[in-house]
Amino acid sequence: MAALEDLFASGHRACAGCGCALTLKTLMHVVGPNVIIANATGCMEVIASPYPETAWKVPWIHSLFENAAPVAAGIEAGLKATGRKNDTKVIAIGGDGATFDIGFGFLSGVMERGHDILYLCYDNEAYMNTGIQRSGSTPYDASTTTTPSGKISFGNQRPKKNMPAIMAAHGVPYVAVTSIGYPADFTKKIRKALSIEGPKYIQVHATCTPGWGVDSAQSIEILRLAVETAMYPLFEYENGEVTSVHKIKDRKPVREYLEKQKRFSHLFKMPGGDKEIEKIQQLADANAARFGLDVKPKAPQGAAPEK
pLDDT value for 1: 43
pLDDT value for 3: 61
Neighbours of 49 (CB within 10 A): 17
Whether 47 contacts 14, CB under 8 Å: yes
Q: Structure pTM?
A: 0.95
- Cα atoms found within 13 Å of the Cα of residue 107, Cβ hemisphere only: 35
Phi, psi of 233 (to 5 degrees): -65, 145
Whether 35 contacts 91, CB under 8 Å: yes
Domain architecture of the chain: domains with CATH: 19-291 (3.40.50.970)
User: What are the angstrom distances between the C-alpha of 273 and each of 159, 255, 276?
Assistant: 17, 11, 5
User: What are the angstrom distances between the C-alpha of 47 and each of 21, 50, 55, 134, 172?
Assistant: 9, 7, 9, 20, 31
Contacts of 57 (CB under 8 A, 6+ apart): 5, 6, 7, 8, 9, 33
Contacts of 68 (CB under 8 A, 6+ apart): 38, 39, 40, 92, 93, 94, 98, 103, 119
pLDDT value for 300: 73
* Cα-based angle 106, 108, 113 (whole degrees, multiple of 5): 100
Side-by-side strand order, sheet with 200-205 = 60-62, 35-39, 89-95, 118-123, 200-205, 174-179, 235-238, 241-245
* Cα-based angle 73, 74, 77 (whole degrees, multiple of 5): 85
Please list the residues that pair with 204 across neighbouring strands. 122, 178
pLDDT value for 304: 64
Please list the residues that pair with 150 across neighbouring strands. 153
User: What are the angstrom distances between the C-alpha of 165 and each of 22, 67, 70, 192, 206?
Assistant: 26, 21, 21, 19, 19
Q: How far apart are the C-alpha atoms of 135 and 278, rounded to whole Å?
A: 23
pLDDT in tens, the chain (307 residues): 456 789 999 999 999 999 999 999 999 999 999 999 999 999 999 999 999 999 999 999 999 999 999 999 999 999 999 999 999 999 999 999 999 999 999 999 999 999 999 999 999 999 999 999 999 999 999 999 999 999 999 999 999 999 999 999 999 999 999 999 999 999 999 999 999 999 999 999 999 999 999 999 999 999 999 999 999 999 999 999 999 999 999 999 999 999 999 999 999 999 999 999 999 999 999 999 999 999 987 777 766 655 5
pLDDT value for 5: 81
Q: How far apart are the C-alpha atoms of 31 and 92, rounded to whole Å?
A: 13
